[in-house]
Amino acid sequence: MTQKKVAPTVQTVEGNMPPSYEEANAGCPGYCYGEGTFSWDDLYIRRVFIRKVYSILMLQLFSTVAVIALFTFYAPVRIYIQTHPVLYSMSNLLFLVTYISLACCGDLRRQFPWNLILLTIFTLSMACMLGFISSFYNTKSVVLCIGITATVCLCVTIFSFQSKIDITSFQGLLFILCMVMFFCAIVMGFVVPFGYVSIQKYK
């Protein structure tokens, strides 16, 4: 009596197969990540998102301002970093590494606490770069730039915490304001060299 060898057959059951990325996100009007569905059409979600973004931005700005002030106004630190340019190269390299990691590694920037660690390293390295560059210029121009940036960011942050007006619904107004700031920056680029703000290197 001979036994026939039956080749194993693999049957694909459509109900047990996981859906593709396009199929999984087909019914989501906003963003789908994991088991949660985030709809950008929800006003509350937009407000929470804007508050978190500008709160993080303010923390980054305050950290950068603190480092720039230390490198610019405290003479021992200013002299030390000016005589050790290798620190600038190290901060520049660290900035590029963290920037590429955050930009290219999607899973890494969404994983806690690595996202906060990388964001902290990114912010501090960028602050050191800016502090090193600012230490070579007149404090008046540095304070002017810091004051303008801090004022604009603080106003937008405070405005984002109110609940009466949805800032994301004014795309046209935001575009106009961005253009105004852009052209003001261009005008300042031509006005500063003619003596509006003296930029002199420390001797």
Residue 137 token pair: 């210029």
Q: What pLDDT sits at residue 105?
A: 78
3-class SS at 189? helix
Model pLDDT for residues 169-183, shown as the tens digit of each residue: 666 677 777 777 777
- Asked whether the predicted pLDDT for residue 8 surpasses 60, the reply is no
Contact 169, 41 (CB under 8 A): no
Q: What pLDDT sits at residue 11?
A: 46
What single string gives the DSSP state of each residue in 138-167? -HHHHHHHHHHHHHHHHHHHHHHT-SSS-G
Average pLDDT over residues 39-46: 66
3-class SS at 35? coil
Alpha-carbon distance values, 28 to 41, 107, 195 (Å): 11, 21, 55
Give the C-alpha separation, 44 to 41, whole Å.
9
Q: What pLDDT sits at residue 71?
A: 85
Domains of the chain: which residue ranges? 50-163
| Residue 136 backbone dihedrals phi, psi, to 5 degrees | -90, -5
Give the C-alpha separation, 98 to 127, whole Å.
13
pTM for the complete prediction? 0.58
